């Protein structure tokens, strides 16, 4: 009996010692692996606490959101409400208006660890980087790598300049090009075109340039196209078609926001004199307001640099730091994961919409032919960012009204300098938004059959 | 003997068990206190690893800096070099040119824990906040609180709009005001004035406004001052004087960048129609490019909103998040700590420069009278951001040349539309920069005595 007792004592003692050794090794390992955090602990814990708030998959809480009773408040997706966003609002409109690229949000939630970035209180307080510019060369290098993987742009021997989103780069490019000539430049774009080209150029009009509308109209006049600046969006917003400048002698600004495998085949790397890209349509971070231009001509580049220096002394270093972290994730592995993720999601959405509309005699959508893609190294089908939706019935001159009656919100064709028989429907938004759009479109097309058989 | 042995066994056993209990409680406490991080761990550890790189107190490594042999590289302060920034370059010029507000960097290093912010990969991807604006209302509320503590602005009943630094807000305000009238507005500022007013207004000149130089010249003509926009910097950059518009009938844009207890007495809260502030001169985060305007008139406010929407769709959400975290630190306790820190540092710098120049017959600096301060609730002496340095000798018409010969770099008076007999010397930079400036100035003044006694 005493022997058994003694044995048990020994087992317990050895077990206890072993447990202690385990704890000590664990502690030392944590220290070695730099897992014992000090000043960064609070910020990290705050971010995790906010991320752990449950919003039923139909919303999320943010670090800078409202706090009620010490708890971060859920911000719900459209058509959801309640403290945890669990209540669906059945009469809520399917909003396919904006180009908010939330379809990529799940990608970043899957890459929570690698995409997080902790900004120290003293991070980059200065106006300039060590090289006295306001542009992070490390970020430039990452951008160049992303282009070389996506095979969507020739960057060699060209200059890179950053802007507050591609929006600002468009304006800077017009300014820069317009300084090349003493007479005012005429700014044009072929219809249908992205509305900002007109609204922005009109608002910021100087003595050096003015907006003159449709490039096709200008082409059809006897005009030579001299001293013309042409915006070319390729693939085009709203219709997703790959485009070239219609005025060969114009100074073209290529808006390449959508020239990623997400949205289009990449037949060849783009090689224009001015190409504008944005993180908004690459990683989905529209809120970060970060874009870049790839510029061939040194004088144009220097004019653009002067623009950014005088407009706001460069892009926020906080934004540049975050963009860098996001691009590091994009470049992980062979750098193709985000392109596969985005392409598959966009293709799936397009196919579902296509199939739905194929049952309709009243509505059509744009046709985009399959094409060889330099990135996927095969022929691939369409996956555009937007549906260019058309009401075919003669009486349906305002297609957005027709959609509105079916509780769908789109963007009217006239905003793109086209007919209101067209409506742009965004495929870029959250899964919730897309599912509701699809559901409402299916209902609309089904009712059409009902009407016709009545 | 056996008894002693047995007793030792018991002690060891109890000790071991006690240690086990300690470890378990410690672990549970860490879990309870949310110190067991998951996805945020990597970002936090990366930030701490970079912060722990030793740069001898004369530089720092950044998260987005160069990495050589897997180690972040030190970015050294001016006049220091070497892998750990320990080598002082004795012939290096004292650079007092820029308004880089690095004097506040030590404050943020002291508040490492509270000022850090961790940005999740999916943070604020959308173009808009929940209220469909591009402005964080939570941040607006924090800004209002800071003003109420600093007692430097009346915000009640006014609108707030964000810009990419005060630089962009200046331009937006000119645009917004110029739309009030059909004839072109004349933009002026009283000399000496901040050079950006001219360069920016010239560069972005539309049919609605043009820069016309010195407000005092316009005042002295028979002109009524109608349809004039006047920039008023108060306290003034370069000379630190509190100012009012010289043209009472003009639309004034008050640049209040320096209207903080750091740099001036606050005789009363400012209450102008357009007041522009920037985080750059409040917290020292020039690199974040974040400013705000407080605007009385609704139409002007709406015009400015349109400007930001068309220019770039608002300020980066990453920047807004960081600004929020910084202002949370500013508001800690009674919210006065940063003002005391900044005031004491700037006053100390000013007094050292004043004392040095007081020994000179060749040079003078501006006089700023002591004044009652609404924030400190007492009469206080000057602590301006810049020295407005003057060469008094008739032959020293280019004072920057005189300083240059003494290895000091300042900004020439002519850039401020003043004489080159004046030079602006920045007191805002790092301790290293200031110490070198002071050292070189002392040398210069000492040499002056030597020359005179020869």
Q: Which residues of chain B have a CB within 8 Å of the CB of A284?
A: 125
Give a three-class secondary structure readout of chain A: CHHHHHHHHHHHHHHHHHHHHHHHHHHHHHHHCCCCCCCCHHHHHHHHHHHCCCCCCCEECCCCCCEECCEECCEECCCEECCCCCEECCCCCEECCCCCCHHHHHHHHHCHHHHCEEECCCCCCCCCCCCCCCCCHHHHHHHHHHHHHHCCECCCCCEEEEECHHHHHHHHHHHHHHCCCCCCEEEEECCCCCCHHHHHHHHCCECCEEEEEEHHHHHHCCCCCCCEEEEEECCCCCCCCCCCCCCCCCEEEEECCCCCCCCCCCCCCECCCEEEEEHHHHCCCHHHCCEEEEECCHHHHHHHHHHHHHHHCCCCHHHHHHHHHHHHHHCCCCCCHHHHHHHHHHHHHHHHHHHHHHCCCCEEECCCCCEEECCCCEEECCCCCEEEEEECCCCCCCHHHHHHHCCEECEEHHHHCCCCCEEEEECCCCHHHHHHHHHHHHHHHHHHHHHHHC
Chain A: residue whose CA lies nearest to B166: A312
Chain A CB within 8 Å of residue B104 CB? yes
Choose, out of B34, B80, B126, B169, the residue to mutate when testing the contact with A (most A CBs < 10 Å). Answer: B126
The whole-angstrom separation of Cα B31 and Cα B227 is 65
Choose, out of A24, A318, A323, the residue to mutate when testing the contact with B (most B CBs < 10 Å). Answer: A318
pLDDT one digit per residue (tens) for chain B, 454 residues = 666 676 777 777 777 777 777 777 766 666 555 468 999 999 999 999 999 999 999 999 999 999 999 999 999 999 999 999 999 999 999 999 999 999 999 999 999 999 999 999 999 999 999 999 999 999 999 999 999 999 999 999 999 999 999 999 999 999 999 998 889 999 999 999 999 999 999 999 998 999 999 999 998 886 666 899 999 999 999 999 999 999 988 999 999 999 999 999 999 999 999 999 999 999 999 999 999 999 999 999 999 999 999 999 999 999 999 999 999 999 999 999 999 999 999 999 999 999 999 999 999 999 999 999 999 999 999 999 999 999 999 999 999 999 999 999 999 999 999 999 999 999 999 999 999 999 999 999 999 866 543 3
Q: Which residues of chain A have a CB within 8 Å of the CB of B167?
A: 310-313
How far apart, in Å, are the Cα atoms of B67 and each of A137, B50, B72? 12, 10, 4
Residue A34 has pLDDT above 70, yes or no: no
List the beta bridge partners of residue B277: B292
Q: Which residues of chain B have a CB within 8 Å of the CB of A102?
A: 125-126
Chain B: residue whose CA lies nearest to A59: B130
Q: Which residues of chain A have a CB within 8 Å of the CB of B16?
A: 13, 16-17, 20
Q: Which residues of chain A have a CB within 8 Å of the CB of B47?
A: 40, 118-120
The whole-angstrom separation of Cα A241 and Cα A259 is 11
The whole-angstrom separation of Cα A32 and Cα A16 is 24
**pLDDT value at residue B22:** 76
Report which of A198, A195, A346, A226 is spatially closest to residue A281, judged by C-alpha positions.
Answer: A346
Chain A CB within 8 Å of residue B51 CB? yes
Query: Tokens 């008094």 map to which residue?
Result: B392
- Please state whether A240 falls in left (phi above 0), alpha (psi between -120 and 50) or beta: left
Chain A CB within 8 Å of residue B362 CB? no
Structure tokens at A57: 């998959």
Choose, out of B116, B143, B324, B328, the residue to mutate when testing the contact with A (most A CBs < 10 Å). Answer: B116
Q: What angle do CA A377, A381, A385 make, to 5 degrees?
A: 110
Chain B: residue whose CA lies nearest to A101: B126
Distance (Å) from the C-alpha of residue B236 to the closest C-alpha of chain A? 20
Chain B CB within 8 Å of residue A105 CB? yes
Whether the full predicted model's pTM is greater than 0.95, yes or no, is no
Q: Which residues of chain B have a CB within 8 Å of the CB of A327?
A: none
**pLDDT value at residue A222:** 61
Residue that wins the pLDDT comparison between A90 and A8: A90
Structure tokens at A410: 């789109």
The whole-angstrom separation of Cα A380 and Cα A383 is 9
Cβ atoms B140, A130 nearer than 8 A: no
Between chains, do A64 and B320 touch, taking CB under 8 Å as contact?
yes
Cβ atoms A372, A267 nearer than 8 A: yes
Q: Which residues of chain A have a CB within 8 Å of the CB of B411?
A: none
Question: Dihedral of CA A52/A56/A59/A64: which sign?
Answer: negative
Chain B: residue whose CA lies nearest to A64: B321
Q: What angle do CA A375, A377, A382 make, to 5 degrees?
A: 70
Peptide bond into A54 cis (omega under 30): no
Of B45, B63, B164, the CB nearest to A37: B45
Query: Tokens 């809480």 map to which residue?
Result: A61
List the beta bridge partners of residue B76: B59
Strand A185-189 vs strand A87-88: parallel, antiparallel, or unpaired? unpaired
The beta-carbon contacts of B364-372 under 8 Å, at least 24 apart in sequence, are: B364/B389, B364/B390, B364/B392, B365/B389, B365/B390, B366/B239, B366/B240, B366/B241, B368/B240, B368/B241, B370/B265, B371/B242, B371/B265, B371/B267, B372/B265, B372/B267
Query: Tokens 């040499």 map to which residue?
Result: B447
Q: A124 φ, ψ to 5°?
A: 40, 60
Chain B: residue whose CA lies nearest to A179: B203
How far apart, in Å, are the Cα atoms of B90 and each of A33, A250, B87? 41, 54, 9
Chain B: residue whose CA lies nearest to A208: B206
Chain A: residue whose CA lies nearest to B61: A123
Taking CB atoms and an 8 Å cut-off, how many pairs form between chains A and B?
Answer: 349
pLDDT confidence tier of residue A454, bands split at 50, 70 and 90:
very low
Between chains, do A127 and B35 touch, taking CB under 8 Å as contact?
no
Distance (Å) from the C-alpha of residue A172 to the closest C-alpha of chain B? 10
Taking only residues 274 to 303 of chain B, the set having a beta carbon closer than 8 angstroms to any beta carbon of chain A reads 284-290
Between chains, do B124 and A46 touch, taking CB under 8 Å as contact?
no
Report which of A194, A208, A209 is spatially closest to residue B313, judged by C-alpha positions.
Answer: A194
The whole-angstrom separation of Cα B41 and Cα B402 is 54
Burial A387-420 (b: 16+ CB within 10 A, else e): bbbbbeeeebebbbebbeeebbbbbbbebbbbbb
Of A51, A203, A316, the CB nearest to B319: A316
Peptide bond into A318 cis (omega under 30): no
Taking only residues 223 to 262 of chain A, the set having a beta carbon closer than 8 angstroms to any beta carbon of chain B reads none
Between chains, do B311 and A313 touch, taking CB under 8 Å as contact?
no
Q: Which residues of chain B have a CB within 8 Å of the CB of A203?
A: 306-307, 310
The whole-angstrom separation of Cα A171 and Cα A163 is 10
The whole-angstrom separation of Cα B34 and Cα A52 is 11
Query: Tokens 């963007």 map to which residue?
Result: A411
Query: Is the interface score ipTM higher than 0.95?
Result: no
Between chains, do B164 and A311 touch, taking CB under 8 Å as contact?
yes
The per-residue pLDDT for range A12-32, each reduced to its tens digit, is 777 777 877 777 776 666 555
Give a three-class secondary structure readout of chain B: CHHHHHHHHHHHHHHHHHHHHHHHHHHHHHHHCCCCCCCCHHHHHHHHHHHCCCCCCCEECCCCCCEECCEECCEECCCEECCCCCEECCCCCEECCCCCCHHHHHHHHHCHHHHCEEECCCCCCCCCCCCCCCCCHHHHHHHHHHHHHHCCECCCCCEEEEECHHHHHHHHHHHHHHCCCCCCEEEEECCCCCCHHHHHHHHCCECCEEEEEEHHHHHHCCCCCCCEEEEEECCCCCCCCCCCCCCCCCEEEEECCCCCCCCCCCCCCECCCEEEEEHHHHCCCHHHCCEEEEECCHHHHHHHHHHHHHHHCCCCHHHHHHHHHHHHHHCCCCCCHHHHHHHHHHHHHHHHHHHHHHCCCCEEECCCCCEEECCCCEEECCCCCEEEEEECCCCCCCHHHHHHHCCEECEEHHHHCCCCCEEEEECCCCHHHHHHHHHHHHHHHHHHHHHHHC
Burial B40-62 (b: 16+ CB within 10 A, else e): bbbbbbbbbebbebebbebbbbb
Q: A210 φ, ψ to 5°?
A: -150, 155
Query: Tokens 């752990």 map to which residue?
Result: A52
The whole-angstrom separation of Cα B174 and Cα B206 is 10
Cβ atoms B269, A299 nearer than 8 A: no
The whole-angstrom separation of Cα B278 and Cα B255 is 9
Between chains, do A65 and B138 touch, taking CB under 8 Å as contact?
yes
The whole-angstrom separation of Cα B388 and Cα B56 is 32
Chain A CB within 8 Å of residue B7 CB? no
């Amino acid at each position: 009996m005493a022997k058994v007792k003694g044995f048990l004592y020994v087992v317990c003692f050895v077990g206890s010692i072993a447990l202690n050794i385990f704890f000590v090794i664990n502690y030392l390992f944590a220290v070695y692996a730099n897992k014992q955090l000090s000043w960064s602990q609070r910020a990290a814990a705050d971010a995790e606490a906010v991320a752990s708030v449950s919003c039923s998959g139909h919303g999320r809480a943010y670090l800078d959101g409202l706090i009620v009773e010490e708890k971060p408040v859920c911000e719900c997706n459209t058509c959801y409400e309640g403290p945890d966003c669990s209540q669906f609002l059945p009469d809520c409109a399917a909003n396919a208006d904006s180009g908010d690229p939330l379809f990529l949000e799940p990608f970043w939630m899957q890459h929570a660890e690698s995409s997080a970035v902790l900004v120290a209180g003293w991070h980059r307080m200065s106006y300039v980087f060590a090289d006295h510019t306001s542009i992070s060369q490390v970020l430039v290098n990452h951008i160049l790598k992303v282009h070389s993987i996506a095979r969507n742009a020739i960057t060699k021997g060209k200059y890179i300049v950053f802007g507050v989103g591609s929006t600002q780069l468009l304006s800077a490019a017009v300014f820069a090009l317009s300084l090349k000539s003493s007479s005012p430049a005429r700014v044009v774009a072929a219809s249908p075109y992205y509305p900002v080209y007109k609204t922005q150029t009109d608002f910021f009009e100087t003595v050096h340039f003015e907006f003159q509308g449709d490039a096709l109209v200008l082409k059809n006049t006897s005009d030579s196209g001299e001293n013309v600046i042409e915006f070319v969006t390729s693939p085009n917003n709203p219709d997703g078609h790959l485009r070239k400048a219609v005025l060969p002698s114009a100074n073209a600004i290529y808006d390449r926001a959508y020239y990623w495998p997400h949205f289009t085949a990449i037949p060849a790397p783009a090689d224009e004199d001015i190409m504008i890209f944005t993180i908004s349509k690459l990683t989905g971070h529209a809120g970060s307001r970060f874009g870049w231009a790839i510029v061939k001509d040194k004088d144009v580049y220097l004019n653009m640099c002067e623009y950014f220096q005088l407009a706001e002394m460069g892009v926020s270093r906080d934004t540049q730091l975050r963009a860098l972290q996001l691009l590091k994730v994009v470049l992980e592995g062979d750098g193709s994961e985000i392109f596969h993720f985005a392409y598959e999601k966009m293709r799936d959405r397009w196919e579902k919409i296509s199939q739905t509309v194929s049952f309709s005699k009243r509505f059509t959508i744009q046709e985009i032919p399959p094409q060889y893609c330099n990135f996927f190294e095969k022929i691939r089908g369409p996956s555009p960012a937007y549906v260019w939706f058309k009401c075919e019935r003669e009486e349906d001159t305002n297609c957005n009204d027709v959609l509105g009656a079916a509780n769908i919100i789109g963007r009217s064709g006239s905003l793109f300098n086209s007919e209101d028989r067209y409506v742009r429907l965004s495929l870029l938004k959250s899964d919730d938004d897309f599912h509701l759009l699809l559901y409402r479109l299916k209902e609309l097309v089904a009712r059409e059959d009902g009407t016709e058989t009545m």
